[in-house]
Amino acid sequence: MATRLRHYFQSHTIIVRTDQPLRQILTRPELTGRLIKWSIELSEFDIQYESRKTLKSQVLADFISEMTNDTQNTEVSWSMHVDGASNKEGSGAGILLMEGNKVVAEQSLRFRFNASNNQAEYEALLAGLKLALQLQIPRKTVYCDSSLVVHQIKGEFQDTILSITQVPDWRTPFLDYINTCTMPNDEPNLPLFRRRASFYTVLGNTLYRRGHSQPLLKCISREEAEDVMAETHEGVCGNHIGGRALAAKILRTGYYWPTIKRDCISKVKACDNCQKHATLSETPAEELHTIEGLKKKLGEAKGEWADLIPEILWSYNTSIQSATGETPFKLVYGAEALIPVEVSRTELYDQSNNLQARTAELDLVEEERDISAIKQRARKQYLERRHNKKVVHRSFNNGDLILRCTEEARKPPAYGKLAANWEGPFRVLQNLGKGAYKLETLKGDQLPGTWNVSSLREYQS
């Protein structure tokens, strides 16, 4: 009881009526063993020990109280106090039923399901009403400290107010993880989430991202991002900068959100004035067939193939991949490589401007990697659907006659190319599921091992 009702014992004075000298025993300095344990456990509570009253007088008073008939038909006022609470360790409720000033029943409940504070208040009210119904109490006054529950039961709150849909904030999972180490339930890749969370920190109640263009970038919501983009783009629209430059300018002002680059590009594309003055296109370079080029070059080089590997790797790392839409070099370093054709651009090199552009690119590389990962998954799904259209699914039932593909090790070496590619027939002994089968000969001898459906085909006599 002292463990389960600790918060009640700590907030009230406990009176113990007994004929035994418990106070003298528990306060002796030479206590050992179990007694010293109980003395330490009970020392945190305000316990007062009183002598038990004479039993004879108490029995007489109880007898008179129980046997005396109530000649006055007075109405008894019943009251019930309910309360519920919830935290990260669980939720529960407390119920106190009183007849006038006399406590009739006391209950404390612990819920085995997750519940918010308001849900715990409702559960406490329902449990109290069930208790009053079992005791057949016709009329009672219920007290609850939840304004939501009280006003809704009285009909003063409408349910439509509670059905407002809130847009999820992208900062909430990172704040919960940093503050309470709580992982999001809908996160498919937990190691990736932990790595991304290491880029963030909390100062006060505000989330910041560690950046390269600024030491700390303030993380803002989508609504705040719309205002920041509108104000920043309005100020620089006369220069008609591109989406990347707009994102870099916002980063230099100290703001960040996960889709800053993509949103800034969309913002610039939607601007009529910027479209009229657009002079540069963002058409990606033609993708190089690196694997075919590797085979061709190394095949023709013969003994010099080792000297050509750096050239092939450079070609691969600076070529846009169809799966991601970006070059591997950019996904690793956050910027495009300077190929020999573009050496003339070094004449316009400005170290200060280049440093600012480079730090902005490093802050935007994480978003580019996310976009590339989405493109890669979409590409894999497309290839999977195209492959599945060509696949002819085969299945066999027990007792079907089939042919088995002849492996190279079982082909007679004397026959050479004239050896049969299929052997049999065999009979299907058992379908193990997922394309696996056990076979037997026509005489009933079971073949060792299992065989995949890709190595089997129907026998036609």
Q: What are phi and psi of 84, to 5 degrees?
A: -135, 155
**Confidence at residue 370, expressed as pLDDT on a 0 to 100 scale:** 81
Give the DSSP letter string of 5-28: THHHHHHS-EEEE-SS-HHHHHT-
> With contact defined as beta carbons under 8 Å apart, do 125 and 149 qualify?
yes
Domains by residue range for the chain, with CATH: 6-64 (no CATH), 83-163 (3.30.420.10), 172-276 (1.10.340.70), 290-388 (no CATH), 401-458 (2.30.30.140)
pLDDT, one tens digit per residue, over 186-199 is 888 888 888 888 88
Mean pLDDT of the chain: 76
Q: How far apart are CA 439 and CA 451, in angstroms?
A: 8
Q: Per mean pLDDT, which range of 157-166, 213-222, 430-439 is the poorest?
A: 157-166
**Confidence at residue 461, expressed as pLDDT on a 0 to 100 scale:** 73
Question: Which is more confident, 461 or 398?
Answer: 398
**Confidence at residue 394, expressed as pLDDT on a 0 to 100 scale:** 81
* Residue 39 pLDDT grade (very low, low, confident, very high; cuts 50, 70, 90): confident
**Confidence at residue 163, expressed as pLDDT on a 0 to 100 scale:** 45
Give the DSSP letter string of 354-365: HHHHHHHHHHHH
Three-state DSSP class for residue 454: helix
pLDDT, one tens digit per residue, over 311-337 is 677 777 777 777 777 778 777 776 666
**Confidence at residue 106, expressed as pLDDT on a 0 to 100 scale:** 86
Element (H, E) at 111: strand 102-111
Task: Please determine, for residue 401, whether its predicted confidence score (pLDDT) is greater than 60.
Answer: yes
Query: In terms of Cα–Cα distance, which of 287, 291, 289, 265 is closest to 278?
Result: 265
> With contact defined as beta carbons under 8 Å apart, do 254 and 247 qualify?
no
Q: Per mean pLDDT, which range of 173-182, 240-249, 289-298, 441-450 is the poorest?
A: 289-298
pLDDT, one tens digit per residue, over 223-252 is 888 888 887 776 555 455 677 778 877 887
**Confidence at residue 343, expressed as pLDDT on a 0 to 100 scale:** 47
**Confidence at residue 328, expressed as pLDDT on a 0 to 100 scale:** 80
In this structure, what DSSP letter does residue 167 have? P
**Confidence at residue 162, expressed as pLDDT on a 0 to 100 scale:** 47
Give the DSSP letter string of 284-321: PPPPP-HHHHHHHHHHHHGGGHHHHHHHHHHHHHTS--
Strand partners, 103: 98
Residue with tokens 């703001």: 255
